[in-house]
Amino acid sequence: MKEIVSLMDYRSSIKVVDATLRDGGLVNDFHFTDEFVRALYEANIRAGVDYMEMGYKASREMFDESKFGKWKFCDDDAIREIVGDNDTGLKIAVMADVGRCNYKKDIVSRSESPIDLIRVATYLNTIPAAADMIEDAKKKGYEVSCNIMAISSGQESDLRVALDILGKTSVDVFYIVDSYGSLYPEQIARIADTYMEFAGKYGKKLGIHAHNNQQLAFANTIEAVGDGVDWLDATYSGMGRGAGNCAMELLLGFLRNPKYNNFYVIQFIENYMNQLKEDGVVWGFDLQYMMTGLLNQHPRTAIQFTKERRKDYSEFYKEVVAQD
């Protein structure tokens, strides 16, 4: 059992990362208005959030620009239109997926960019390519984190090798990522111990990015905090791919750090997130996501089920069990 001080006190080392535009953009193909993005930026500043992830640095050669909003690509000029010189305590982040971005061209020197943090996303089988991206971003002057996705479907031995490879790079933060929303708090505790071993060995920080397929994103994030994980991802109203993510309003309500002010998160939800739902944007826990989470499957089938507005849950359960 955790020592109560681990959960009741606050640590100045904790960093909260708002992933609403990036993970939430997977729900609406990044079609956010500038008004929405500016208001989110202001809400994050007032709430004391540490980092705001604006979206992806995706390759225009791989993705049809006409099908997505601009936060799929996060041009530096588009970011500046929102944040200006960003003379605030809020830092700006973007995600770069291994194999889905032209990082050597599209990520310029930090001195020429409004971006502070590059979040490299990788699977276990693309760790060498992730290492190259990390070093490229570091040489350009950025803070760098690395999200190792879909770890619930990998082997622990492979994870340990990956963490050892990444530990030898100049990455600042390793991220635990529950891509399928299939992990339970006791599993997070064991995984955090493994990550902590390599973080301690190489002097790295740890982060967590949780999905809510089994309504455990918040619980798993709390577990990680008690295990010593400092970098915590969350989204407003839990907006994110499929079942969504750890809700920012729950996370800031839980953290005891006086620098965070949950009122501005609640205010933004009232003024903007509720309108998204009224406009027909769909995300959040539902039975189809629970099923893929239980079976440790990618939620793509559940996402398609949702798009088709199906309600035959028992038939869907038979379909996903047959794929297991």
Q: What one-character-per-residue DSSP string does 170-181 give? A: T-SEEEEEETTS
| Per-residue pLDDT reduced to its tens digit, 63-94 | 999 999 999 999 999 999 999 999 999 999 99
pLDDT at 8 (0 to 100): 61
- For residue 41, pLDDT beyond 50: yes
What does the pLDDT average to over 192-204? 98
Amino acid at residue number 85: D
Q: What one-character-per-residue DSSP string does 34-60 give? A: HHHHHHHHHHHHHHT-SEEEEEE---T
Place of tokens 């239109």: 81
Q: Provide the CB-side half-sphere exposure for 316 (13 A, CA).
A: 22
Q: What one-character-per-residue DSSP string does 241-281 give? A: STT-B-BHHHHHHH---TT--THHHHHHIIIIIHHHHHTT-
pLDDT at 24 (0 to 100): 98
Amino acid at residue number 173: V
| Per-residue pLDDT reduced to its tens digit, 99-121 | 999 999 999 999 999 999 999 99
Distance CA 244, CA 20 (A): 10
Place of tokens 């100049």: 170
CA distances from 321 to 59, 108, 220, 295 (A): 35, 46, 25, 8
pLDDT at 3 (0 to 100): 54
What does the pLDDT average to over 230-237? 98
- For residue 139, pLDDT beyond 90: yes
The chain-wide mean pLDDT, for the chain, equals 96
Q: How many CB atoms lie within 10 A of CB 280?
A: 7
197: tokens are 């071993």
User: Which one-letter DSSP state was computed for residue 298?
Assistant: -
CB 238 within 8 A of CB 283: yes
pLDDT at 257 (0 to 100): 87
CB 81 within 8 A of CB 34: yes
CB 51 within 8 A of CB 16: yes
pLDDT at 256 (0 to 100): 83
Distance CA 173, CA 165 (A): 13
Q: Going by C-beta distance under 8 Å and a sequence separation of 6 or more, which residues neighbour residue 116?
A: 51, 91, 92, 93, 110, 142, 143
Distance CA 145, CA 271 (A): 32
pLDDT at 1 (0 to 100): 47
What does the pLDDT average to over 122-137? 98
Q: Please report which confidence band the pLDDT of residue 6 belongs to, taking 50, 70 and 90 as the band edges.
A: low
Percent of the chain's residues with pLDDT above 70: 97
